[in-house]
Chains A and B, each alone.
Chain A
Amino acid sequence: MMDKKSLRRADLITAVILMIFGLSMLIETLKMPMKDTFGGVTNVWYVSPALFPLFITAIITLLGFVLLLRALKDGGGKFLLERIKTPARESGEKMLRFLAILIALITFIYLYIPRVDFFLSILIFLGFFMSVFTFDEPSLFKRLTVLYTLISVFFFLLFLSGLGGLLIKAFTYGTDVLVLIAFIGMMLFIRKSIRSFPDGKRNYRNILILSIVTPLVLCPLFKYGLRVPLPKEGGIIGLMNLIWYRIF
């Protein structure tokens, strides 16, 4: 949570954002049919699809304005000017931790899940996410975050350039194999880096087990138990299918 000064400063900025957002949505609402004909239906104002959004966006704008007045009254403007004149250094460590969380979640959701076998997506995500926060040593934290980011950038460029598609054409599970290699490489790097850590070996073993067991439990549970087709079924899920349908 923020202290009062930071809170009022944030309120001031939020109020401006809210007013801009409210007004732009209000303008968007005004483009909706109010009394015109849409889809063969002649509108009257009270059945217009714009009626409720008009009410909501107007109130959001108004509340943004009220918040702005309150923030100004409580010294938000003064605190903001102070901050602009003497920019305070945010806790670098907290910012780095926040960035690491965002990188892990964004790459997992936007990069790996839509393109890589779901089992492997979870594997690489958990391998990084658990390790970086479990060992929690500043130097390793930075190195591991950079390594994972570089791996993710590599895959991003691979898919963006179309090389990923070519690779899949040449070998159906090509990208899956690359992700698996990246995961093994990352885990070997972690293993090498944590040799001197107290409890390092035990934690490493736990992370490795959990990274493998979690998708090993979740994927069959959802795929065969709940009959949910997984977002991307590649090499590992294919192998699971082979085993499952052979047995059952």
Chain B
Amino acid sequence: MFILERIWAFFVEVGILVSVPRNVIVLFFAVVLGIVFGAMPGLTATLGVALLTTLTYGMNTSTAMIALLAVYVGGVYGGSYSSILINIPGTAAAAATALDGYPLACQGKAGKALGLTTTSSAIGTFIGMLFVVTLSPVISSLALQFTSFEFFLLAFFGILISGTLTSPDLVYKGWIAGFIGLWMSTIGRDGLQFYPRFTFGVANLEGGLDIIPVLIGAFGIPQIIQVLKDKFRMVEAKKFERVLPEFRDIARNIPHIIRSALIGVGIGAVPGIGEDIAGWVSYGAAKNSSKHPETYGKGEIAAVISSETANNACIGGAMIPLLSLGVPGSPPAAMLLGALLLHGVQPGPMLTFDKPNFIMEITAILFLSSIAMWIAGMVLTKQVVKILRIPPPMFMPIIAVLCVIGSYSLGLRIFNLWLMLPVGIIAYFLTEMEYPIAPLVIGVILGPMADQNLRRALMVSQGSFAPIFTRPVALILFLVILLTIFSQTKPYKRVLKYLGGKLSSRRRR
């Protein structure tokens, strides 16, 4: 009965949203905008969400969420266009798609590949949505048992795990990026005693760093510099005819779709890990489970379906910790968190009390976004592909202007621009030296949560750390943090190697 009520409530929510014509227009506009952002190499879903946040300021929360989630969904999916048609992933999330998507296009199957990725992306988003509606309330109610110690450890764990898993070089680099982000979050007057920290007498720093300029700087400026500095050139896109996929192709790949969606949701739920990792892991899983792994990389339909289902399912996964714990699951989700705060929505366990309908509303928006994405994908593919002809030196300067106006217009402070550029240049150098940017941004966002909860927890315990060891969730989080840190040390690796050796010798016997 309860499930039927939830389903009914879901469709009521969908009906309420689509009954407002403005919402429908915004939905399709944002999805197409997201697809354009995803398809253009150098632009990402994160940047799309970041720039659109500015435009949603005057909208009501529902319409704003429609715009932002639709651009997120469209952006993650849009990356497949350039992956398949020009062999250049529009976003990192679609990098795995290029491996088999482009060979398919070379075989004259670009339309088929695009049709299948569109459908599998829509299914992936839909499955992710199912997990949001089922898991978020459960995790929220569990999180209600959390005290300040748990929240401090959770924020700390989020930064640490995101640093560990996103670092392309040394794991310490991810941690360093995360802690620099945490340090940046401490700039300004502290929330408890109003003491100015690291302001160095600059009045503009007293209120702290605004999140949006930091995010736009960290994600936008490095993209602009990289694309223009490295002489990025577009190549002629492959031609294609029919896009609508055949049902039997989808039916044949249902196991891949389900497995990839589960991988996507799981990876999305880990703080800070984005759609790119989901795409690669899913690709790897599909290849390992295939009877003909040698066909991978040569135009395998299952490969394209797997990576695209996973990266879109990751959106739902990323929304789960965001809504239930206030911890973003991916870089675009970090942007969404900034946007939610801007609209007066505080994600976390109290969300179900403050706005009881909000999770259902987000679920309905994800559902509508996946439908809008599928329709736009089927109808507008040929038109959207035309934008791949625009040379980057023409659109990147316009993106720079959008970054500037986006950073300025939220706080109406020119100081935000003066802040955005140095943050962007530092982020560019960090990216060049293979530091991940996601942990830095997550550090900036989760810093206040970690700071306030640490001090609040110690106030309650009168300066004692004992509750960490007496509260089960806190203890588990603490042990996981220790394990994450020690997993990077030599003794741990030696023990692991020793155990591995023992195990293999026992097997041989």
Assuming A2-B432, A11-B170, A29-B197, what are 14 further A-B pairs, CB within 8 angstroms?
A32-B197, A33-B195, A60-B180, A63-B172, A63-B175, A63-B176, A101-B225, A109-B421, A113-B404, A122-B401, A133-B396, A210-B394, A226-B57, A231-B414
User: Binary interface profile of B, 365-408, with partner A (CB < 8 Å = 1, else 0)?
Assistant: 00000000000000000000000000111101110111011001
Partner of A125, one of B396, B397, B421: B397
B169 on the interface (CB 8 Å rule)?
yes
Contact check, A52 vs B455: say whether CB atoms are below 8 A apart: yes
The answer to the question of B333 belonging to the interface, with a C-beta cut-off of 8 Å to chain A, is: no
Q: Which of A1, A105, A226 contacts B221 (CB 8 A)?
A: A105
Which residues of B lie under 8 Å from residue A222 when comparing CB positions? 405, 409
- Please tell me if the beta carbons of B192 and A49 are within 8 angstroms of each other in the complex: yes
User: Of A10, A47, A55, A130, which is within 8 A of B397 by CB?
Assistant: A130
| B394 & A94 in contact (Cβ 8 Å cutoff) | no
Q: What are 22 A-B interface contacts by the 8 Å CB criterion?
A: A39-B193, A39-B195, A46-B459, A46-B463, A47-B193, A47-B455, A53-B186, A57-B183, A60-B176, A60-B183, A63-B172, A67-B176, A94-B229, A104-B400, A108-B400, A113-B404, A125-B397, A126-B398, A130-B394, A130-B397, A222-B409, A226-B57
Q: Are B195 and A101 within 8 A (Cβ)?
A: no
Main secondary structure of the interface of A (DSSP, over half): helix
Residue of A nearest to B457 (CB): A46
A129 near B397: Cβ-Cβ < 8 Å = yes
From A38, A59, A114, A206, contact of B179 by CB (8 A): A59
Closest chain A residue to B225 by CB distance? A101
Is B55 within 8 A of A226, CB to CB?
Answer: yes
B366: min CB distance to chain A, Å: 26
Give the docked Cα–Cα distance between A218 and B192 (Å). 40
Closest to A58 in B: B179
| Chain A 104-136 near chain B by CB (<8 Å), digits 1 or 0 | 111011100110000000100110011001101
In Å, the complex CA distance between A70 and B170 comes to 9
Contact B417 A126 (CB under 8 A): no
Contacts of A146 in B (CB 8 A): none
CB-CB nearest in chain A for B460:
A46
Interchain CA distance A98-B225 in the complex, whole Å: 7
**Is A126 touching B401 in the complex (CB atoms < 8 A)?**
yes
| Cβ-based interface call for A137 (8 A) | no
* Contact A207 B394, beta carbon cutoff 8 Å: yes
Say whether B433 faces chain A, with CB atoms less than 8 Å apart.
yes
Per a CB cutoff under 8 Å, which of A46, A59, A60, A207 touches B458? Answer: A46
| Minimum C-beta distance from A114 to chain B (A) | 5
Q: Which residues does chain B contribute within 8 Å of A158, judged by CB atoms?
A: none
Please tell me if A14 contacts chain B, counting CB pairs below 8 Å. Answer: yes
- Interface residue total, chain B, C-beta cutoff 8 A: 61
Cα A36 to Cα B231 in complex, Å, equals: 57
**What residue of chain A has the Cβ atom nearest to residue B432's Cβ?**
A2
- Interface presence of B450 (CB below 8 A): yes
3 A-B pairs closest in CB distance: A133-B393, A46-B458, A129-B397
Q: Does B454 contact A (CB under 8 A)?
A: yes
Contacts of B402 in A (CB 8 A): 218
Q: Are A125 and B197 in contact (CB under 8 A)?
A: no
Chain B residues 408-450 with CB under 8 Å of chain A are: 408-409, 412, 414, 417-418, 420-421, 425, 432-434, 450
Contact A51 B455 (CB under 8 A): yes
Q: Which residues of B contact A231 (CB under 8 A)?
A: 408, 414, 417
Task: Let me know if A134 and B394 touch, CB within 8 A.
Answer: yes
Nearest-neighbor residue (CB-CB) of A63 within chain B: B176
Closest to A118 in B: B405
Q: Identify B393's interface contact among A11, A67, A136, CB under 8 A.
A: A136
Residues of B within 8 A of A113 (CB): 404, 408, 414, 417
Residue in chain B with minimal CB distance to A221? B55
A residues less than 8 Å from B57 (CB atoms)? 226
Write the A200-212 contact mask toward B (1 if CB under 8 angstroms, else 0).
0000001100100
| A64 in contact (CB, < 8 A) | yes
Complex alpha-carbon distance, A101 and B169, angstroms: 27
A56 to B160, CA, bound (A): 13
The verdict on A237 contacting chain B, using a C-beta distance below 8 Å, is: no
Are B433 and A10 touching (Cβ within 8 A)? yes
Is B135 positioned at the interface, with any CB of A under 8 Å from its CB?
A: no
What residue in chain A is nearest B175 (Cβ atoms)? A63
Q: Are B228 and A1 in contact (CB under 8 A)?
A: no
- B353 contacts A by Cβ under 8 Å: no
Q: Evaluate contact between B401 and A38: CB separation under 8 angstroms.
A: no
Interface presence of B198 (CB below 8 A): yes
Q: Which residue of A lies closest to B450 (CB)?
A: A52
Residues of B within 8 A of A228 (CB): 408-409, 412
* Cβ contacts under 8 Å, B197 to chain A: 29, 32, 49, 53
Is A101 within 8 A of B224, CB to CB? yes
* Closest B residue by C-beta to A218: B405
A51 and B454: CB pair below 8 A? yes
Cβ–Cβ < 8 Å partners of B462 in chain A: 46
Does A28 lie at the interface of the complex (its beta carbon under 8 Å from any beta carbon of B)?
Answer: yes
